[in-house]
Chains A and B, each alone.
Chain A
Amino acid sequence: MALLEVEDLSIGYRTRLGLHRAVEGVSFSLEEGKSLGFVGESGCGKTTVGMSLMGLLPRNGEVLRGRVLFEGRDILSISEEELRLLRWKKISMIFQAAMNALNPVKKVADQISEAILAHSSSVSKAEASRQVEGLFQLVGVPKERMRDYPHQYSGGMKQRAVIAMALACKPRLIIADEPTTALDVIVQAQILEETRLLQEQLGISIIFISHDISIVADVCHDIGIMYAGELVEYGSREEVFDSPAHPYTRALLSSFPTLTGNREMLKPIPGEPPNLVDPPKGCRFRERCQEASHECSLISPAWTELFPRHKVRCIRFERKKGPQ
């Protein structure tokens, strides 16, 4: 059985303008020790999916439909206290903007050992401190810096400290939300490489959330492309990155520079994602899609399986496969 199975997950935010349907019918599964990346532009619902897996939706957020099975248990229906015990012990998180993820008035080491102590009553303070030392070594922060405050760290060190914190309770799943966005390209590459190595060494599953498809392709086994709250393409890294099917995926790939590929003009994707309070009928990408036809506004595309590990939601592929 998969470590994590998400079925038909829909999440909405109550706003003054009405229910903002941030995530619509998302399903995926993640095996032990594997990594999965979600890619999409801001507001596509990728962070909302990540937050819901830890029960950390903001107050106005609400799961409308669906199930999240973690180790076979539906974590959407367990009590707040059970959820608290599950957090960090089983699922931890590397936050977007590590700069702000650390409390400025507490020493970095204390913020990590705090998590250890909160989840195992048998561990003494000294023991927790030793564990933090080990974690610092693991992520490559000198242990003399343990007693420092976050503002004394450089951006890269903060990021490493946040990774060390995520590893503190030896979780089975880590959700990494834009973990390297605020860093310069060189530090970013180092940290991604180290994260990948750590993940392989420790056998932890990772869900990687980013707007940058090349980063996700670097670290993840599987990739899910999200647009306007929906998954539009899902498959193995090789399939999605090398033979992208959905017009949005292709547009994403040509809007980012590559280090190794030929120098080409970057193509921005014109237009804006649709308003999710009142989402359009049919395909949500059609207004920005170069290949859209009249049909796209009538029918909401269903999943089409291209290969055993590659599927896409675009009407053009439905047609190729013939009538269902």
Chain B
Amino acid sequence: MKKILLAGMCAVMAAVTLASCSGGNKNDIWDWESEPKAEGRGVTLNVYNWGEYISDGSEGSLDVNAAFTHITGIDVNYKMFDTNESMYALISAGAADYDVIIPSDYMIGKMANEGLLAELNFDNIPNFKYIDPQFRNMSYDPENKYTVPYLWGTVCIFYNKTMVDEADLDQGWDLLWNEKYSGNILMFDNQRDAFAIALKKLGYSMNTTNKAELDEAAAELKKQKPLLQGYVMDQIYDKMGNDEAALGPYYAGDASIMATENENIGFLIPEEGTNKFVDAMCIPKSSEHKAEAEEYINFMCRTEIALANADFVCYATPHTEAKKLLDPEISENPIYYPSNEVLDKAELFIAYPDEINKYMDSLWMDLKK
């Protein structure tokens, strides 16, 4: 029994350590330890980011937070969340005093609308100049007052080449409804992502506020449910890695983890268009160390740091210089950096009004009963 548990643990740990996308040499990006060490300033920044979403020193990578403390003398208390919603629940309840948070597009829009975000002083963030203009003034922050983009990506379908017929690959999102793969299909366990796919399959916008269209999408999801092996998030690494499932949608940036877990995994971005997402750095209004938080954001936009993060996490960077320095195997890979043709058809999530959110909640929970 203990052996089995150990094996289980090893599997989980393997998934964690394989997260870096290219091997070794990452410490060469910047030898920050030989820079002069700043004196402690007695300030601790609380940073709240997605799990596995920063170059953290594991696998010989650059330890971004340690480097920041070394260079600036500001301590970092780094915490991780697993969904935008759990992060939002904490911040909106005033239950935590975070100084830098990195939510996704639609959540940023929602938080900005609710007055939860502080306006940034871009004089303190000169490295913003490196951010690709394509990623400024995004729909979630049209005047670019609150955010500095961190990483972005798209949603793709992962499939097992030995289990899915090549001839079926042009079916687009319908592939996830193909009865041939009944019992071997995985689906997002996250309502916004799941609805987006159903809406795209029907040819609607994934930002629709038309309740009839949402009803149709819910009906599609109900139709899909009996074909599914399950609704998953992180578990997809395990399920796809062990040939347990044949296909499922997930974030393209995680392709490297999938590929290391199982060499038979292929990726495709459906023709109908997909979801493009941007995760951006913001400062909650409640922060008591706004200037230091801006220093942190600026640090994250240093070319070396942006490069280290893009290299380690494998999601796409909006940092022009870092992208140039990135291993071409990543920066020229259409799964990580899709062509403009794909991006033109991709949609960014827009924050839903409360009424539509509630409506989608009820449809989703109906599906789960």
Do A and B originate from a single complex? no
